[in-house]
Chain A
Amino acid sequence: MRQLRAWLMRFKGLFLKDARERELADELESHLQMHIDDNIRAGMSPQEARRVAVMKLGGVDQTKEAYRDRATIPFIESIVQDLRFTLRQLRKNPAFSVTATAMVAIGIGASVAIFAFVDAALIKPLPYHDPSRLLMVTETTPEIPRANLSYLDYLDWKKFNNVFDSLEVYNQRGYVLSTSAGMEMIQGGRVSDGFFRTLGVAPLLGRDFYAGEDLPEAPRTVILSYAAWQKRFGGKHDVIGQSLVLNEMPHTIVGVLPQSFHFAPVDAGEVWTTLHPGGPCDQRRSCHYLMGVGRLKDGLSIEAAQADVTRIAKDLEAQYPDSNRDQGAIVAPLSEQIVGDVKPILLLLLGGAGLLLLIACINVGSLLLVRSATRRRELSVRRALGATRARLIRQFVIEGLVIVVIGTAAGLVSSHWAMQILLGLIPEYMMGGMPYLNELGLNPRVLLFTAGVAGFAAVLFSLTPAFRLSTLDVREGMAEGSRGAAGRVWTRIGSKLVVLELTTAMVLLVGAGLLGKSFYRLLQVGTGFETDRLITMTVTAPRAPYVKDEDALALGRKVVDEVERLPGVTSVALVDVLPLSYNGNTDWIRFVGRAFNGEHNEVNQRGVSPDYFATLQARLLRGRTFTDAEDLNKPKVVVINQTLARKYYPGEDPIGQRFGGLDLDPKSIKEIIGVVDDIREGPLDSEIWPAYYFSFNQYPDNAFSVMVRTSQAEESLMPAVSDAITRIDPRINISHQTTMTHRVNNAPTVYLRRSATWLVGGFAAVALLLGVVGLYGVIAYSVSQRTREIGVRIALGAQRSMVYRLILKEAGALALAGIVIGAGCAVIAASLMRKLLFGTPPWDVTTLVSVAVVLGGSALLASFLPARRAASVDPISALRAE
């Protein structure tokens, strides 16, 4: 206790230096005075009295020194001294200090910002109970790796599995919400009764769904998301028991979910209702629309779960060969389903930021090294005056720490900004699928990462010059202008560091180049239609007034007519699923007049209005498209795409051929009237699937997308189109108004690639700059060390061109080493990110060569300046200078 108290006092003493010094001086002065008084009284002369008193005290300065050591903690005291010295040094060299801290700040800022994203998406656990036991469970087909479950299959999986504590299903769907202001389209989830219990989420208010509440006879109930509760009910507690009209049916609100709850597979879900099976789809095993989530029993592995559900799928296939043929099963961690898409990109970015950090640290390290070389004399003098090696090393360590601390502080601030900017750049519709990013921030894990990175930099910065110190020879260092082994040693280490920097820059540049090329290739992909000047929007009419096909058809025709009449509109079409959305919404077809053994010929099916192909400007290859007169009671006709024609009618004319459903029910038989060039139904990086298009006029619906081709800027026409449609029936809801160009540019696959390309490109540009600056530093230093040698060479008759060659050869060797090693590493790195490349191999020669040219050119430029300085050395002054 006493010891601790004494240490605390001494620690306090560090800050009360001036006052204490003054007090001690006063005390010693009074001591001397009293002693002198006594001596005079004893008969000494004043001079004698003072001399004796001072002698007896034992020297005022020694006393003060001893007192000081006791008053404070000498070790800390000297560290404070070193710190002051360092700050003074840094202030004297603003160019060096600003460059060094800025580099650290950039490196740390970039890597911390990216790490925060990685943390939010991949490290922070999902907000469910024991999330690692939750699995995604669903069916798989040869065409669709992650397909959906049918309701009947789900019931069997739930009944017969031995591996799950509970197995639930959900699907995302749009709901039409009736409010006093009209109808609104909102997103929500339809779930089985134990969905929230399985996730381990309890409602904030009210109750969870009870067992059996998802059956057809149960009353209709709804649980609200926290956001919906706040937005639509002002967060009032009396919301429980109120009624909400969804899809024209009243639902009783029974609960509100906690704020922390999110479930990315149901994008921006506001309302959660129970399954209530009963529609025709729920009666058919072939109608797949649900996704499963199961909680694995304790002690069981994911492989065991996979084996168990596969067994059930096999049994069902044997039992229902028609509908369940080739229907496999797949399980995966729920977290993988939620963050699987962004994981490779985030890891890529983290890698890029890490490399940038590395290059920045190396650069600062070599700057420190150069500085320690130029401070050789100062160090030698201090050493000769008795500074211990440890003390000198400590000086470097403190210098490194100061740079790291300032750089890290600046880096943290900039990373905060960077996060906000990056988050702001993510479009809203994508944030819906990434709710976990809402918790992005400088949390303890991110700060720990920052500390780790800063520690790494600090070690690097203090070790490099300390290592340099070990080559310090005091005598040699003191000799004016001597160029001993030290300079050469530095050049050797420095050049190794530069090669490492150039290698890193090469890897980042190649990565950025490959991503850029992939992105370009992606945008060059043929869509099969003209994407310019095309408005798209979703139209949802209430079901009741349009439940009859005649009425729905009349509505569709009216929409086309009214919109077509607007000035600036060239043509109008309706479609159930917009192109470039997804492959899916498929049909299994069977060909009339051909042998059939139960195989599933899975093809996309799309319902389109007669003018669809003309509006898209798709290319008709054979036959004809639909006429408006081909409607409800006419024989069913379809247009197929080229891939379907090639796959199922090779070497045959498909026109006039017929196909139908698996049972060849006469109602399902359709006749092919035309073949169109492939229209890309899925995302740009997806494959083209066989597809057929049926006529909206023959299968009308009360909800559809409208596509409007305009002759002028499409955005300006959007309000007029919406107005024209709502004038037909004010109860119609219009959502997702956008343009096809916007959809193409902001499709998730395009967006993710574009942002990855820009970010990695930015990292690469900074890395290129840092690498080239590093090379410049080494060459310039080497030239300054060799001034005398060059002077001698010139004096002995060497040509200027020869001097140029000498220096450029040195720089060229370093650059070449960096480029060659870098190219090798880049190919390896690129194969790791192969998934993110599109139409570009990891060893893409054009990219490698052009990056090598850019890097080589910049390196040449950077070494040209010192080379010119070397060539212009005046031999006489160079020789005299030393």
Chain B
Amino acid sequence: MSTKNEIWQGTLALMILKTLDTLGPLHGYGIARRIEQISGDRLSLNYGTLYPSLLKLEQEGWIVSEWGVSENNRKARYYKLTRSGRKQLEREAKEWNQTTAIVARFFEPVGDQS
């Protein structure tokens, strides 16, 4: 249960960072919608779980936030990737690719080896 949660937390953080990298400064609601869209609505998350993750990323210095005004003239808190956050994203993306590649090999058909 807790391991799963940890993985989820890590993945969510990666998705947030990637979203901010792609779209530039964005508010929490926008990030949540974006993650849902990209996943093709296959990932249905409680938007609320996003905020503790955002706080954690901010505490670690990967992102910063400031209040701004949304496209619909609503007051909203905008999150922005920092330079160290971008580097972190690169590192994590690389690690992610490596991990998925390794895991993927385990699920490849084994026939051609013999």
A30 contacts which chain B residues (CB < 8 A)? 27, 29, 70, 74-77
Q: Can you name 24 A-B residue pairings with CB atoms under 8 Å?
A: A6-B56, A6-B60, A9-B59, A27-B28, A27-B76, A27-B77, A28-B48, A28-B51, A30-B29, A30-B70, A30-B75, A30-B76, A30-B77, A31-B28, A31-B29, A31-B47, A33-B74, A35-B47, A38-B33, A57-B47, A60-B48, A63-B51, A67-B52, A70-B56
Supplied contacts A6-B59, A31-B28, 13 more A-B pairs, CB within 8 Å = A9-B58, A26-B77, A27-B76, A30-B70, A30-B76, A31-B27, A34-B30, A34-B72, A35-B47, A60-B48, A62-B48, A67-B55, A71-B55
| Contact flags A25-61 to B (C-beta < 8 A → 1, else 0) | 0111011011101100000000000000000111110
Our pick among B27, B48, B61, B70 for the contact of A66 (Cβ within 8 Å) is B48
Whether B49 sits at the interface, judged by CB under 8 Å, is yes
How far, in whole Å, are A388 and B37 apart by their CA atoms in the complex?
44
A67 contacts which chain B residues (CB < 8 A)? 51-52, 55
The total number of A-B Cβ pairs within 8 Å is 75
Our pick among A28, A34, A70 for the contact of B74 (Cβ within 8 Å) is A34
How far, in whole Å, are A475 and B58 apart by their CA atoms in the complex?
48
Q: Given A58-B47, A66-B49, check contact A34 B76 (CB 8 Å).
A: yes
How far, in whole Å, are A2 and B63 apart by their CA atoms in the complex?
13
How far, in whole Å, are A27 and B28 apart by their CA atoms in the complex?
8
How far, in whole Å, are A70 and B74 apart by their CA atoms in the complex?
26
CB distance from A556 to the nearest CB of B (A): 93
B70 contacts which chain A residues (CB < 8 A)? 30, 34
Whether B46 sits at the interface, judged by CB under 8 Å, is yes
Q: Check if B46 sits within 8 Å of A56, measured CB to CB.
A: yes
B61 contacts which chain A residues (CB < 8 A)? 2, 5
CB distance from A262 to the nearest CB of B (A): 57
B75 contacts which chain A residues (CB < 8 A)? 26, 30
CB distance from B18 to the nearest CB of A (A): 19
CB distance from A7 to the nearest CB of B (A): 8
B72 contacts which chain A residues (CB < 8 A)? 34, 37
How many residues of chain A get a CB closer than 8 Å to chain B's CBs? 29
How far, in whole Å, are A26 and B49 apart by their CA atoms in the complex?
16
Q: Check if A34 sits within 8 Å of B48, measured CB to CB.
A: no
Q: Given A30-B74, A34-B74, A37-B72, check contact A56 B47 (CB 8 Å).
A: yes
Q: Which of B48, B55, B74 has the most CB of A within 10 A?
A: B48
A439 contacts which chain B residues (CB < 8 A)? none
Of residues 685 to 701 in A, which have CB atoms within 8 Å of B's CB atoms? Answer: none
Residue of B nearest to A24 (CB): B51
How far, in whole Å, are A9 and B63 apart by their CA atoms in the complex?
14
Residue of B nearest to A66 (CB): B52
Q: Check if A63 sits within 8 Å of B60, measured CB to CB.
A: no
Sorting the interface of chain B by its residue count into under 10, 10 to 19, 20 to 34 or 35 or more gives: 20 to 34
A28 contacts which chain B residues (CB < 8 A)? 48, 51
CB distance from A344 to the nearest CB of B (A): 61
Our pick among A9, A57, A69 for the contact of B52 (Cβ within 8 Å) is A69
How far, in whole Å, are A69 and B77 apart by their CA atoms in the complex?
20
How far, in whole Å, are A63 and B76 apart by their CA atoms in the complex?
17
Whether A10 sits at the interface, judged by CB under 8 Å, is yes
B56 contacts which chain A residues (CB < 8 A)? 6, 70
B59 contacts which chain A residues (CB < 8 A)? 5-6, 9-10, 70
Q: Given A31-B28, A35-B29, check contact A58 B49 (CB 8 Å).
A: yes
Residue of A nearest to B33 (CB): A38
How far, in whole Å, are A58 and B59 apart by their CA atoms in the complex?
23
| Contact flags B38-54 to A (C-beta < 8 A → 1, else 0) | 00000000111101100
| Contact flags A2-29 to B (C-beta < 8 A → 1, else 0) | 1001100110000000000001101110
Q: Given A6-B60, A37-B74, check contact A58 B27 (CB 8 Å).
A: no
| Contact flags B59-91 to A (C-beta < 8 A → 1, else 0) | 111000000001010111100000000000000
A34 contacts which chain B residues (CB < 8 A)? 27, 29-30, 70, 72, 74, 76
A70 contacts which chain B residues (CB < 8 A)? 52, 55-56, 59
How far, in whole Å, are A63 and B49 apart by their CA atoms in the complex?
7
Q: Check if B46 sits within 8 Å of A57, measured CB to CB.
A: yes
How far, in whole Å, are A71 and B59 apart by their CA atoms in the complex?
9
How far, in whole Å, are A59 and B47 apart by their CA atoms in the complex?
9
Residue of B nearest to A62 (CB): B48
Of residues 399 to 415 in A, which have CB atoms within 8 Å of B's CB atoms? Answer: none
How far, in whole Å, are A37 and B48 apart by their CA atoms in the complex?
18
How far, in whole Å, are A28 and B51 apart by their CA atoms in the complex?
9
CB distance from A178 to the nearest CB of B (A): 79
Q: Which of B59, B72, B75 has the most CB of A within 10 A?
A: B59
Residue of B nearest to A10 (CB): B59
CB distance from A862 to the nearest CB of B (A): 58
How far, in whole Å, are A409 and B52 apart by their CA atoms in the complex?
41
Residue of A nearest to B61 (CB): A5
B76 contacts which chain A residues (CB < 8 A)? 27, 30-31, 34
Residue of B nearest to A35 (CB): B29
How far, in whole Å, are A62 and B75 apart by their CA atoms in the complex?
23
A38 contacts which chain B residues (CB < 8 A)? 33
Q: Which of B33, B47, B49, B75 has the most CB of A within 10 A?
A: B47
B48 contacts which chain A residues (CB < 8 A)? 28, 57-60, 62-63, 66
CB distance from B2 to the nearest CB of A (A): 14
B49 contacts which chain A residues (CB < 8 A)? 58, 63, 66
A60 contacts which chain B residues (CB < 8 A)? 48
CB distance from A295 to the nearest CB of B (A): 62
A56 contacts which chain B residues (CB < 8 A)? 46-47
A24 contacts which chain B residues (CB < 8 A)? 51
Residue of A nearest to B65 (CB): A27
